[in-house]
A and B are shown apart, each in its own frame.
Chain A
Amino acid sequence: MALYSEKVMDHFRNPRNVGVIENADGVGEVGNAVCGDIMKIYLKIDGDVITDVKFETFGCGSAIASSSMATELIKGKPVSEALALTNKAVTEALDGLPAHKLHCSVLAEEAIKAALKDYYDKNGIEYDPAMFPEESCAYCAAGEV
């Protein structure tokens, strides 16, 4: 029994959409180095569609795979669909994550939400703040340091 599913290993070994978008319409960064994972998502949005997405991640195998999968799940999709992306959907698309790695999928969801919030803020688009809850550090006690 391997540590991760084949899907996780595929996205870890060959991450999709790695990189930076210059002059991105939305940028979101979550996590911190003390905890051991940081995810940064860059969005290019045209009209209501996410036309391009890139990510950079500092973290373990499942953090990199979760970022890669999350970008794949929202690329070419309307903003409304990206907003609805859950960590559960990321986990399922990866054929599951070990229990102590589920927070990586949570970070991926939060990174995308943070980038969308940045897009709304930059463009003066009104939104319900409840859509963007504070990032949860519940999984990581070190984050309180």
Chain B
Amino acid sequence: MNVYADNAATTRMSQTALDAVRDCMENTWGNPSSLYETGQKAKTALEQARERVAAALNALPGEILFTSGGSEADNQAIRGAAALGKAKGKTHIISTTIEHHAVLHTLKRLEREGFTVTLLPVDAEGLVTARQVAEAIRDDTCLVTVMYANNEIGTVEPIAEIGAVCRERGVLFHTDAVQAAGHLPVDVKADNVDLLSLSGHKFHGPKGVGALYVRRGVRIPPLIEGGSQERGKRAGTENLPGIVGMAAALSEAVERLPEETARLTGMRDALIAGLSEIPYGVLNGARTNRLPGSVSFCFEAIEGESIILLLDDLGISVSSGSACTSGSLDPSHVLLAIGRPHEIAHGSVRITLGAYNDASQVPYIVDSVKAVVERLRNMSPVWRDLNEGKRQHVIPA
């Protein structure tokens, strides 16, 4: 059986999105900035896509800015808000320890440029509270940026509450909604958001395209200078096939949201129930307050890359937050932030479901993970030490 279950990394495109991209490439290949008919046809397609993305977020079309993806949207939102703050002498930014690196590394750079950054800690489930944000806001705070839902452990943050606090205190609020858009009912008005990032390929759209919602009246500067595309906020000829494909995918995802949420949540909970039978394993993130298709576990005494490779042999594609899979020396900063010790964080597996997964795959995934965990534990000296009482369990049975 072949099971792609790494939908938080990327998704297979939907047929609707594929058709939209292909049709645009074949028939609407003009430059939206050109005045003649071929160009104006492209301009129309661009603006229709903008309307569709805006409608999916309860935003106005003029509040949607197309980018090359989630990372660019995060960079522009944060650097833009920082520039607005600096002009008013405000150089303090609040975020959390579990953000995506597109946010954390941008903040690191701003720190080197003279900004002060407060990273709020999260609780054992990966949750940050509006109260923490309220207590961290200072007179010189120019931006709060908190992710909508976490890419590794799936925890959904109280965005509307945090947004309300920021609105009340007059501080710009950005949320990285890359994992949430198309998977949760995102509403920029109800969520009190000023800036929001999303990425096309996380909801069965194409790669290399994303969007930044910028609330009307917030005048953030461009990251990329050049022509006057995107009302001067993002230069460069628009990636129209990508934009049209993303808009089609997002509309489709939002349309199917209620039924998909129910379907994926059912599969997710069955996965969690099945994997919870493995002794000395622990669910990462909140039990119910999590993305519909997201499951993350740590298993004691084994290492994540080995799990991933053996599951790959069984036709299952998933990911891990181990150091060996992150390409760095440390395991995932998110797993460390929720209090997993290094040795436990190395043994993590993330399974993320999407539109192409179905319930028949769940027992196969559970059985495969059980078999792989057992196989690796049987060759692990750590497992032997635990069984012989020479080492203490960190995770309860």
Contacts and interface: CB of A to CB of B under 8 A. Distances in A.
Interface of A: 3, 9, 12-13, 15, 18-20, 29, 33-40, 55-61, 63-64, 100-101, 140-142, 145
B384 interface: yes
A64 B327 CA distance: 18
Contacts of B383: 58
A58 B303 contact: yes
Given A20-B384, A33-B382, A60 B322 contact: yes
Contact of B309 (A12, A29, A40): A12
Given A36-B323, A58-B301, A64-B306, A15 B379 contact: yes
**Binding site secondary structure of chain A:** mixed
Nearest to A18: B379
Given A15-B379, A36-B323, A60-B303, 5 more contacts: A34-B341, A39-B381, A60-B304, A60-B322, A145-B342
In the complex, the 3 A-B pairs of residues with the closest C-beta atoms, listed nearest first = A33-B343, A60-B305, A60-B324
Interface of B: 301-306, 309-310, 313, 322-324, 327, 329-331, 341-343, 346, 378-384
Contacts of B330: 141-142
Contacts of A38: 380-382
8 contacts: A34-B342, A36-B324, A36-B342, A60-B322, A60-B324, A61-B306, A101-B324, A142-B323
Contacts, number: 77
B342 A56 contact: no
Contacts of B306: 12, 59-61, 64
A34 B380 CA distance: 14
A105 to B, nearest CB: 14
B322 A36 contact: yes
A15 B309 CA distance: 14
A56 B384 contact: yes
Contacts of B341: 34
B123 to A, nearest CB: 23
A60 B324 CA distance: 7
Contacts of A140: 329
A13 B380 contact: no
A20 B306 CA distance: 20
Nearest to A39: B381
A56 B323 contact: no
B379 A13 contact: no
B343 to A, nearest CB: 4
B323 A40 contact: no
Contacts of A37: 303
A56 B322 CA distance: 19
Interface centre among B306, B323, B341, B381 (most CB of A within 10 A): B381
Contacts of A145: 342
